[in-house]
Amino acid sequence: MKKIIIISIIIFPALVWAAYKPARILAPELVPGITCKSDTICLDDISRYHEAVTLYNEALVFVESTVGVIKEEPKVLFCSTQSCFKSFGFNKASAKTIGTSGIVISPKGWKYYYLRHEMIHHLQAEKMGVISLLLRPDWFTEGMAYSLSEDPREKLSTPHQAYREKFSVWYKAVQKENLWEASL
């Protein structure tokens, strides 16, 4: 019985690592080609480190001053290649947030508003809990991220434009100071 428990403890993390690629954000330095330059910034092209730091710091300051204080600064993995992004299980998105575990930025996601958007998702997970966040309607979670990140695109793709508009109406009614209380 002890052998089965020990083997399970050893094999289970490896199975999760192989089967659920987003879990790799927990230890991105184990992914070939990824370098973690700090506790919060990892990337596949270290020559772009200063660009990543600038984007990270701008997004963090913006989100904390306009949406809410982040308790645990998120780990962000900046991918400059599509193969890096795919190694975390993603393909078409510009960026993805994995609960409070971290954020993965695609090659096309190296823009201030994408990182703000994802940090807002991180903050949502902190404030509401990961499970509760999954149960929220998309107009709320995505609408908040698109609206409060000040995404500069005038027209978003369907259904994201409608989400942003619906959230904006809701947000105007509840007002900034009541955002988190009204969201629970």
105-122: average pLDDT: 97
**Tally of domains in the chain:** 1
How far is 104 from 175, CA to CA, in rounded Å? 31
Residue 126 counted as domain residue: yes
Residue 20 counted as domain residue: no
How far is 110 from 138, CA to CA, in rounded Å? 23
Residue 169 CB contacts under 8 Å (≥ 6 apart), including other chains: none
Residue 49 counted as domain residue: yes
Residue 14 counted as domain residue: no
Beta carbons of 105 and 44 less than 8 angstroms apart: no
Residue 13 counted as domain residue: no
pTM score > 0.85 for this model? yes
- AA identity, residue 7: I
Residue 15 counted as domain residue: no
List the single range of 8-17, 144-153, 165-174 with lowest mean pLDDT: 8-17
Domain that holds residue 98: 25-183
